[in-house]
Structure 1
Amino acid sequence: MATVGLLYPGHSAADDFPALATRVGAELRLPVVITSVGEDAHRVDALLDLGRAERLLDGVGRLSEQRPDAVMWACTSGSFVFGPAGAAEQAAKVAAAAGVPASSTSIAFVDALRHLGMTRVAIAASYPRDVAEHFVRFLAAAGLAVLAMGSHDIVTAAEVGTLQPDDVLAMVQAADHPDAEAVLVPDTAMHTLAIIDRLEAAVGKPVLTANQVTVWKGLQLLGPVPPLPGLGTLFGGGR
């Protein structure tokens, strides 16, 4: 059984991960440690504070009793606001402190797209536009083209966590672009792990969500990722 430890800021959709672990049974453990949050706000200054090393390393210390095989900083905005070099430094500090491989959700999006051989995407973002633009630049630095972006000006992760499946579905459909090879949903505060197949069916292409790519990358750090049902194209599902 693989154990992917998750450093998760706040509580908005933290329950997405244990629910998935229950569904897949003996193949995977996903222990979650809640990292400290200063201000719950999708604002660049607040996100830079959210992702600072002291908060992450405190979480690593509390996660150690779970003996993770890999650790993920399960936060997209709290990694991409640091830019590619800053996100890589975050992951390196977590790995050094944990003594196991580590990465973050923003890096996971890039690596998942490379794994699928895709370069053109649409983004269904819950964030205000100025924050979402940081994600666009993060992807562009990796050679990925954003053809369309929907931003929804939701300021707090707590509010994002209350979105219902139909709300998420509408966001994904509205953000899609006919030339995009995949639609990205970049917020770990959003409950998505139970509805990925439904999202992909609605747009007829892969949908990569923050919580999905976080789990995928945690497993990929350990070797070939096993196919898991209900988690879409990225995990071996059909389109």
Structure 2
Amino acid sequence: MYGDNGRIALIRPGVTPSTEMDFHSRIPQGVAVSTSSVEYDRVTLDGLQAMSDRVAACAARYRGFPMDLVVFACTTGSMVGGPGYDKRLIAQIQAACGIPAITTTTALLEAFSALGLKRLSIVTPYSTALNEMEQRFLSSEGIETGAITGLGHEDIRAVPFVRPEEMYDLAVRQGAQGCDALFISCTGICVLDIIQPLEEKLGVPVITSNQATIWNALRRLGFREKIPGFGLLGSTPGPDIA
């Protein structure tokens, strides 16, 4: 295994290729990504909790390998346990494999902090129940939700086929009036290419789950260069790896 410029262990829910596709479209040359899948059955509160309960066992596969960072790439899956759940997951992952770790939620919170974002307009592919859970979690972290709309999907087979133009139209219809930014939630959808068009259209920063996860992972590996196509966040410094 190479990866002389960094090695990332990427844990993603189920069989969706979306997160891997987005990572490989943006990571610099010389960074290696090893992907593992954690069993995932339904895009529901119970389904997310069951999936997240399996993450530590998945991370344990990497013990003894020279990885620099483990990334659990799921937004609601790293929120579903309530306030502080992303930090508890990180502790479980690190205990299982002995490697520094982040979750998508951790990455998002650091992105919001780096840009000074306090009030969000949010669009998702999720059901109302998941949207409400996400809203509660963000509120516990001091992030207000100005508006939130979802597509209502609960089938894991449907989410990867949500088209970027569908999310673009949803975001434009909702707008970002009175909000600091637009947030497109879910690592299971590929929406990196609509970040810059939406920033130009809405006049606010646009944050997506995979964008923030990749940004945070690369910054922790020490990369400080601008990340193409990532809008305002792509030019923003982030934390170094511990």
TM-score, reference length from structure 2: 0.86
- For residue 33 of structure 1, what is the aligned residue in structure 2? 36
- Alignment RMSD: 2.2
User: Which secondary structure state, in structure 2, belongs to the residue aligned with residue 31 of structure 1?
Assistant: strand
Partner of 1:42: 43
Q: CA deviation at 1:163?
A: 1.4
Asked if 1 retains the 8 angstrom alpha-carbon contact of 2:60 and 2:93, the reply is: no
Does structure 1 conserve the Cα–Cα contact (< 8 Å) formed by 2:22 and 2:190?
A: no
- In the alignment, structure 1 segments of 5+ residues that lack a partner are none
Instruction: Tell me the residue number matched to 1:5.
Output: 9
Q: How does 1:154-173 map to 2 (within 5 A)?
A: 154-173=153-172
- The whole-number CA distance in structure 2 between the counterparts of 1:20 and 1:194 is 13
Q: Which residue in 2 is equivalent to 1:131?
A: 130
User: How many Å separate the matches in 2 of 1:218 and 1:23?
Assistant: 11
Preserved CA contact (<8 Å) 1:193 1:212? yes
* Cα deviation, residue 124, structure 1: 0.3
User: Take 2:13 and 2:38, find their aligned partners in 1: how far apart are those partners?
Assistant: 5
CA displacement, residues 143-191 of structure 1 (integer Å, 9 cap, x when unaligned): 1111111122111232111012211211222232211111111111111
Work out whether residues 126 and 152 of structure 2, in 8 Å CA contact, stay in contact via their aligned partners in 1. Answer: yes
Assess, with a 3 A threshold, how the Cα gap between structure 1 residues 102 and 179 changes in structure 2: closer, same or farther.
same
Residues 116 and 219 of structure 1: is their aligned pair in 2 closer, same or farther, counting only changes over 3 Å? same
Q: Which moved more, 1:171-180 or 1:106-115?
A: 171-180
Shift in Å, 1:139: 0.9
Relative to structure 1, is the Cα distance of residues 220 and 87 closer, same or farther in structure 2, using a 3 angstrom cutoff? same
Opposite residue 145 of structure 1, the aligned amino acid is E
Q: Is the 8 A contact 1:33 1:63 kept in 2?
A: no
Identity of matched residues, %: 27
Aligned residues: 232
Under a length normalisation based on structure 1, what TM-score does the superposition of the two structures give?
A: 0.87
CA distance in 1, matches of 2:63, 2:171: 36
CA distance in structure 1 between the partners assigned to 2:222 and 2:147 by the alignment: 33
**Aligned-partner residue type, residue 32 of structure 1:** T
Q: What SS does the aligned partner of 1:30 have?
A: strand
Residue 23 to residue 223, structure 1, CA distance change in 2 (3 Å): closer
1:62 alignment partner in structure 2? 61
What residue in structure 2 maps to residue 184 of structure 1? 183
Pairwise CA distance, 1:221: 3.4
Distance 1:187 1:22, change over 3 A: closer
After the TM superposition, which of the residue ranges 26-35 and 126-135 deviates more from structure 2? 26-35
Post-superposition offset of 1:20: 4.0
Q: Is the 8 A contact 1:216 1:225 kept in 2?
A: no
Evaluate the alpha carbon distance shift between residue 232 and residue 61 of structure 1 in structure 2; reply closer, same or farther with a 3 A threshold: same
Compare 191-200 and 124-133 and name the one that shifted more.
191-200
Cα distance in 1 for partners of 2:223, 2:179 equals 26
The whole-number CA distance in structure 1 between the counterparts of 2:21 and 2:129 is 32
- Displacement of 1:25 in angstroms is 3.9
Provide the residue aligned with 2:139 in structure 1.
140
Q: Deviations over 1:188-221 (max 9, x none)?
A: 1111234322332332221111111111222343
1:87 deviates by 2.2
